[in-house]
Amino acid sequence: MEFLDDKQSEMIQLLTNLVEMETLSADKKAVSRLAGHIDTYCDAMGMTCCKVSYEKAGDALTARTVQGRQKPVAVLAHLDTVHPTGSWPELLRREGDSLYGPGTFDCKGGIVIALFAIKALLACGYRDRQIRLILTSDEETAHMLSGGLGGQLFTKECAGCAAAFNCESGSTGNEAITERKGGAVMRIQVKGIAAHAGRNPEKGASAIRTTARLVEKIEALSCPNGILFNCGKIEGGTGPNVIPDTCSLLLGLRYRTNADYENALRTLQQLCQEVPLPGTSAELFLLGRYPAMEKTPGTDALATLYDSASRRLGLGPVSFLSSGGCSDSAFTTQMGIPTLCALGASGAGAHSLEEHALLSSLLPQCRKLVTTILSLPDDND
């Protein structure tokens, strides 16, 4: 804690530097540039670094401290943002405690917290557990740019970890997340038969009409407290005088459990077989998916440690929430690793031009993370 006492200004400066390097998910060069910048930073801390390259996504970055006698700990965040380069009228704007800018809150503030937590642990000689930092590069696209490889990175990097801490964007209160909904993006491709709409319409089969029937059936399945189906985009046809032979439907899913996802997948596949009109067909494609972040047997115990850390630091009790937003935490909970999420900077306005981080939250969030890692019981306890 003494090491962190005078680090507030350094944390703010690092956050400023990271935000000035704009990193839209689809900007491969920009994201890779940031990965290289943090690679240098971690290397100077004495960590072993590795950049992971993809064909269409920017580089991801992993970094590790030395091996410890206990199981490792994973610390997660992501490099990319949703904001196109140059889309902010003013790249950085400070108003009191709030720093406005692309990624300040989601989640470059979290990267700063993760890096300074590791610096503090190394400064005090902590060697009990290896700290593994994983910074993904296309989190905001559900790892679609990397063809799902960004999500698979956790299988290797987090293997054998005792706990995982995701420095994803936090809240304005003393809160953390133990459960999240999963999400999937799918495309239903409908094929029909083209024909002249006036001369011989009977020879055609409308892909748009079948798609409309599918939309009605799918939307009727949505349940506010269960699985949510959203038919978000339709493209098809060539003109009003042609029976359309193609139509594409983009569909979003949200689900509380991974079993719900499997049930939804079976239902959609069944509808694609049963609903199409004569002469048309429908095929379902998965474009990207986040599993649901479900509690593991050790989640509540880890939450208790984090709550205790907050109280010991004089920061009060922590509220643990279930959230509708997806995150990389789902990949670690699928591996059975107890995971806490939303441990990054406090703030609001994610994915909007009002995105901002509360600068006063950087140090307390870092202190809680460090204290929790130091409080982890021995693996044999």
Verify that 285 and 368 share a domain, yes or no: no
Verify that 12 and 52 share a domain, yes or no: yes
Is residue 103 pLDDT above 90, yes or no?
yes
Phi–psi pair at 230, nearest 5 degrees:
-130, 110
Verify that 160 and 207 share a domain, yes or no: no
Q: How wide is the angle at C-alpha 364 spanned by C-alphas 358 and 369, nearest 5°?
A: 120
Residue 1 in domain: no
Verify that 172 and 201 share a domain, yes or no: no
| Owning domain of residue 242 | 182-290
Beta strands in the chain (DSSP E): 48-52, 60-64, 70-78, 93-95, 98-100, 129-136, 163-166, 175-180, 182-191, 195-196, 228-236, 242-243, 246-255, 281-290, 319-323, 339-340, 347-348, 356-358
d(CA 257, CA 263): 10
**C-beta of residue 205 within 8 angstroms of C-beta of residue 243:** yes
Is residue 226 pLDDT above 90, yes or no?
no
Among residues 264, 260, 276, which one has the least CA distance to residue 210?
276
Task: Name the domain count of the chain.
Answer: 2
In tens, the pLDDT along 174-197 reads 999 999 999 999 999 999 999 999
In tens, the pLDDT along 198-215 reads 999 999 999 999 999 999
**C-beta of residue 365 within 8 angstroms of C-beta of residue 102:** no
In tens, the pLDDT along 248-303 reads 999 999 999 999 999 999 999 999 999 999 999 999 999 988 999 999 999 999 99
Last residue of a domain, one of 290, 320, 345: 290
Verify that 191 and 235 share a domain, yes or no: yes
CA 150, 50, 41, 66 torsion: positive or negative? positive
110 CB-side CA count, 13 A: 27
Judge residue 226's burial from the number of C-beta atoms within 10 Å of its C-beta, 0-12 exposed, 13-18 middle, 19 or more buried.
middle
The first and second tokens of residue 367, run together, are: 């202190």
Please give the model's pTM, rounded to 2 decimal places.
0.91
pLDDT category of residue 171 using cuts at 50, 70 and 90: confident
Verify that 247 and 306 share a domain, yes or no: no
d(CA 288, CA 272): 19
d(CA 23, CA 85): 7
Residue 273 in domain: yes
